[in-house]
Each structure stands twice: as structure tokens, then as C-alpha cells.
Amino acid sequence: MKPAVFAYHAPASVEEALDLLRELGDDAKVLAGGQSLVPMLSMRLSVFPHLIDVGNLGELDGIRIDEERVTVGAITCDSLVERDAGVADAAPLLSRVTPYIGHLAIRNRGTLGGSIAHADPAGEYPAAALALDAEMVVRSAGSQRRVGASEFFTGLWSTALNPEELLVEVDFPRWKGRSGFAVAEHARRHGDFAIAGAVVGVTLDADDRIVRAGIGLFGMASTPLRASTAEADVIGRTYTDCDSEQIGHLSVEGLDDVVADTSGSAQYRRQVGAAMVARAWSEAVNEASNA
Amino acid sequence: MPETSGVTAVTIECSVNGTSYRATVEARLTLADFLRERCGLTGTHLGCEHGVCGACTVLVGGRAVRSCLMFAVQAQGREVTTVEGLAGPGGALSAVQEAFRSEHGLQCGFCTPGFVVAATAFLADNPDPSEAEIREAMSGNLCRCTGYQGILRAVAVAAHATASAGREELK
Ligand SMILES: Cc1cc2nc3c(=O)[nH]c(=O)nc-3n(C[C@H](O)[C@H](O)[C@H](O)COP(=O)(O)OP(=O)(O)OC[C@H]3O[C@@H](n4cnc5c(N)ncnc54)[C@H](O)[C@@H]3O)c2cc1C
Ligand code: FES
Ligand code: FES
């Protein structure tokens, strides 16, 4: 259980980190909080000749909030997101999912950007990024681009990031109006990766009609997913007209690569997933209707 | 900062339990192995070495972290506290240590350093926790002996002891 030898780089700026990434390409891996990477290195599931430690780059650390968005620097640690009163107000779903990530000692080191870049299909932040329509700000030497969450998670632990690219921040749009948010997940023990879970964001108009819905599923497939069919089905209807259990079933209907493992069969996961959507939906709608 | 030009061994300086250390370490050396093998502080235990059991929990800058999931180079310039650094002058047990003893919060003792350190950080943040909060805070540490009841009681007793000591001081 010891990592293989690697060369350690601690660049002093983002520019320097980007130069290193361009130079080393596939031979290098970014080290952020290390809460996913170090176990993989220790178990020798992966070996990289070079690690580029971005953990001290102040430029990537911290949270900015304006009228339109909450921007989280890539190396902002989970426990900071969890405690930030501004986040609780402007992007409540982020505050609500964070306590489900591992345990406090994990959240004290793990970073939001690391979670998104790692793209675990059972991760809370990737699903929340999808449901909220977040945008990833990605840089490489000499260029910058923005990638919408719906294009970012491309496969099991894989993303739209190229080897020479660094995720620098994640932009979460602020949902206006009568909005509500909730997370529900099922795990054997608190802090374990979810067997299945769901996040929901919903906005109602003055007549209680659903004008915006984001339903994110995690732990269900090889990537986090958006339940687009269920979302399309509820838009324009009044919330009292929507049955949460039906929305749950609709959300998992048609999923063809539901995970089966020692925690449960695909059929079991589907049922748990549907129940989690129903639970999160009821809570989110309840909050929105009282807003 | 450490030498940054892609080196496999790095010279670091950090403080452990108030003592300054300067050492040249392999970049791949975990903080846990640094503490145990280079500082001789074997109170920090290694159960799983991949972040699951919590036995290796230490404080870095006052916050609980898994020392098996951090490289020693990442502790450059930081203050580390291990279970050896929690007792008072002359080895007087801290409130948490005392409560683990009185409430039978340990049997074989393998998991104990991690629990004691995690509980210390938790109570510093939340001095008056509910039972549910204690359970949640301790859920990141595994114990194969006690069945946890004594541990949960110990944390509650330590919280209470610290709170009443605080009240005494105010009088
Ligand atoms: C016991 C345990 C339980 C856990 N439980 C959960 C859980 O319930 N839910 C959950 O979501 N997670 C869980 N995690 C994982 C945790 O959230 C990790 O912190 C997170 O997945 C990765 O963040 P990190 O900062 O530690 O990244 P690292 O481990 O440093 O990096 C992870 C990957 O992302 C890449 N990367 C990191 N930052 C960047 C960047 N800025 N740009 C480009 N690439 C980057 C790295 O190269 C690496 O491939 C758990 C971990 C442990 C050890
Ligand atoms: S040894 Fe570090 S968590 Fe188990
Ligand atoms: S006392 Fe033996 S593992 Fe906890």
C-alpha cells in the first residue's frame, strides 16, 4: 500500500502549472486534495511519473458570489463549501449535498474541483453540477474554455478535460424566483458512497406552475445523469398535479446501464433511485412552494 | 516552498506537536509514514492506508485529516498535531483522553488514536453537540472491538467535562 516513485512538482502559479501540464502531458497527474488520487496511487491502480500539486495555488482557492452566480475555485475544500453562509443562501443545494461526502476528515482535504474532475458516478458534486446547469472553467497554456456540465461527464471517471488542461473554477448559476432544492441518498453507512441518490432543483411561477426542473441521479450508471424525460414531463404543470413517485419512476425508466455490484442488483438500484428522486422532489417542491 | 522542479526527494520543514522538523523525504512518503518512521511518533496508527478506517487521523493546522492520504511534502510549513501532542504538561490526560478511559472507549487500542484526535477536533468546533451529531462525527472512524457505545459516551462525557470546566473558569 505505498505509491510508486513519482517526481513532485509544486508550481508557484497557475501559469506555471499549465506549462508543466503542456510539457508533461499524459505522464503527469494533477494532485489536489488527494482524497481520491492517493488511494489509487497507494493501491497502485494507477501510476504516474509526475504529480503536479495545485494545492497551494491561492488563485484557485475560494468562493465568489455575485447576482448571477456562485463561482467556486477548483481547490476550495469541501468543508469550506459546507460552512459558507453565502453558499447556503445563493446555492443551497451545494451546502446540502456536501455533508454526504465521506467524513469531515475527508472533506477537510477533498476539493470541489477534484470531485468534479474525478467524476465519480456516485459523487454528489458532479450530480449537483448537472442538475444546476453549472459550467466548468478550464484552462490550458494560452487558452481558456467553458464546458457545460451536460458535456463534461463523458464516461466512468472520465471528463471532457484533456491531459494538458486544468479545471480552474466551477460556475453555479443562481436559480431565481420561487426555487427549492433537495438531496436524498441511500448508503449503508453515513459517509459511504451512495448506492443510489438524487438531487433536485425546481422553480415555480406565481401560479404554482413548474418553470424549471433539474433532476440529477448519482450512483446509478457509469456517469452522473440528468433525468431529462422526467424533467420535460413536469414543465408547465402545477406542482400539485405532479406525483412524486411517478416522477421517480419516470426518472429511472429507460436507463440501460444501471450498476449491479455487491451493494445491490440493477433492479434494486433502480427502485432505490426512484425512491430517492421521489423524496428529493417532494422536499424541493415543498421548499419552492413556501418561498 | 519545496524545490519544485520535478524531484523525487524533497526537503521539508514542518512542526509536529510543537517541535520543528527539517527532513529530506521521498515525495511518495505519506505524512503517516513520516510521523511514524521519521519522527518516531508511532501513536498514529495505520489500519487501511486508503482513507476508510480513520486510525491515522491527525490534525494539520488544527483540522482533522487522514495522514495516510496526504504526502509529507504537503505538510510543508504546516503545524501537525498527533495523539502524542494532546496530553497536557507532565502527561496529564486531556478531557477527551480522560473520558475514553473512564467510559471504556477502548479495548485493544488500535483505533483509539484516530478516535481521540477526531473527537478533539470535533469538540473544538462544536463544544456542545447532540447525540446525533456525535454519532455522525465519529462515523468516519472504525473500531473492531468496542461496539462504539463506550466511544460515543466518552465523547459526550468529554463535551460535558469541557463545558463545565469552562463554566468554572467564568465564575
Ligand atoms: C473514505 C472516503 C469516502 C469518500 N466518500 C465520498 C462520497 O461519499 N462522495 C464523494 O463524492 N466523494 C467521496 N470521496 C472522494 C472525495 O470526495 C474526493 O475528495 C474527491 O473525489 C476528489 O477530490 P480531491 O480534491 O481529493 O482530488 P484528488 O484526489 O487530488 O484528484 C482526483 C482526480 O481529479 C484530478 N484533479 C483534481 N483537481 C483537478 C483540477 N483542478 N484540474 C484537473 N484535474 C484535477 C486529479 O488529477 C485526479 O485524477 C471519498 C473519499 C474517501 C477517501
Ligand atoms: S489508515 Fe488512514 S484511514 Fe485507514
Ligand atoms: S479498540 Fe480495538 S479497534 Fe477499537
Neighbours of B20 (CB within 10 A): 8
User: Chain B contacts of A29, Cβ < 8 Å?
Assistant: none
Enter the C-alpha cell of residue B129. 453537540
Residue A265 sits in a domain whose CATH number is: 3.30.390.50
Mean pLDDT by 10 residues, chain A (291 residues): 95 98 96 98 96 98 98 98 98 98 97 98 98 98 97 96 97 97 94 94 98 97 96 98 98 91 93 98 98 90
Entry pTM = 0.96
Residue where a domain terminates, one of B83, B102, B133? B83
Question: Of the candidates B17, B52, B83, which is a domain's last residue?
Answer: B83
pLDDT grade for B170, boundaries at 50, 70 and 90: low
Q: Return the pLDDT at B164.
A: 77
Q: pLDDT confidence of B166, banded at 50, 70, 90?
A: low
The pairs formed by B48-52 with CB atoms below 8 angstroms and a separation of 24 or more are B49/A1, B49/A42, B50/A1, B50/A38, B50/A39, B50/A42, B50/A43, B51/A35, B51/A38, B51/A39, B51/A102, B51/A106, B52/B142
Cα distance between residue A76 and residue B148, in whole Å: 33
Q: Is the Cβ of B115 closer than 8 Å to some Cβ of chain A?
A: no
* Mean pLDDT, all residues of chain B: 94
Instruction: List CB contacts (< 8 A) between B8 and chain A.
Output: 5-8
pLDDT at residue B3 in the model:
46
Domain that holds residue A280: 178-289
Site to probe by mutation for ligand 3, drawn from B52, B112, B138 as the one with most ligand atoms within 8 Å of Cβ, is B112
**CB distance A111 to ligand 1 below 6 Å:** yes
- The pLDDT value recorded for residue A254 is 86
Residue A44 and residue A68 in one domain: no
Does ligand 1 have an atom closer than 6 angstroms to the CB of A102?
yes
A40 and A77 together in one domain = no
Segment B93-132, tens digit of pLDDT:
999 999 999 999 999 999 999 999 999 999 999 999 999 9
For the purposes of burial, counting CB atoms within 10 Å of the CB of A157, is it exposed (0-12), middle (13-18) or buried (19 or more)? Answer: middle
User: Would you say residue B56 has pLDDT above 70?
Assistant: yes
Domain end marker among A173, A203, A236: A173
Let me know if residue A1 belongs to a domain.
no
Residue B98 and residue B57 share a domain? no
Helix or strand holding residue B59 (H, E): strand B57-60
Please identify, by atom number, the ligand 1 atom nearest to the C-alpha of residue A77: 25
DSSP state of B90: G
Interchain CB distance below 8 Å, B2 and A56: no
Q: Do B1 and A12 touch (CB under 8 A)?
A: yes
Q: By alpha-carbon position, which residue is closest to atom 46 of ligand 1?
A: A30
**Last residue within a domain, chosen from A173, A201, A220:** A173
Query: Is residue B71 one of the residues assigned to a domain?
Result: yes
DSSP-based helix, strand, coil % in chain A, nearest 5 = 40, 25, 35
Contacts of B33 in chain A (CB under 8 A): 2
> Total domain count for chain A?
3
Q: Do B73 and A12 touch (CB under 8 A)?
A: no
Angle at A121 between CA A118 and CA A126, to 5 degrees: 65
Q: Is the pLDDT of residue B171 over 80?
A: no
Are B74 and A9 inside 8 Å of each other by CB? no
Contacts of B54 in chain A (CB under 8 A): 103, 105
The CA-based dihedral angle spanning residues A85, A89, A90, A93, taken in that order and rounded to the nearest 10 degrees: 100
Q: Is A101 in the pocket of ligand 1 (CB under 6 A)?
A: yes
Residues of A in contact with B64 (CB under 8 A): 104-105, 108
Radius of gyration, alpha carbons of chain B:
17
Nearest to A258 by CA among A248, A269, A249, A250: A269
Total number of domains in chain B: 2
CA distance B28 to chain A (A): 6
User: pLDDT-derived band of residue B167, with 50, 70 and 90 as boundaries?
Assistant: low
Are both B93 and B165 inside the same structural domain?
yes
Q: Which ligand is in closest contact with the Cα of A139? A: 1
What ipTM is given for this predicted complex?
A: 0.94
Q: Are the beta carbons of A4 and B7 separated by less than 8 Å?
A: no
Closest CA to B18 of B72, B79, B88: B79
pLDDT at B2 over 80: no
Rounded Cα distance, B75 and B59, in Å = 11
Q: Say whether A12 and B2 touch across the interface (CB within 8 A).
A: no
**pLDDT of res. B163:** 77
Residue appearing with cell numbers 500500500: A1
Query: Which positions ≥6 away from B11 have C-beta within 8 Å?
Result: B2, B3, B22, B23, B24, B25
Cβ contacts from A onto B, under 8 A: 101
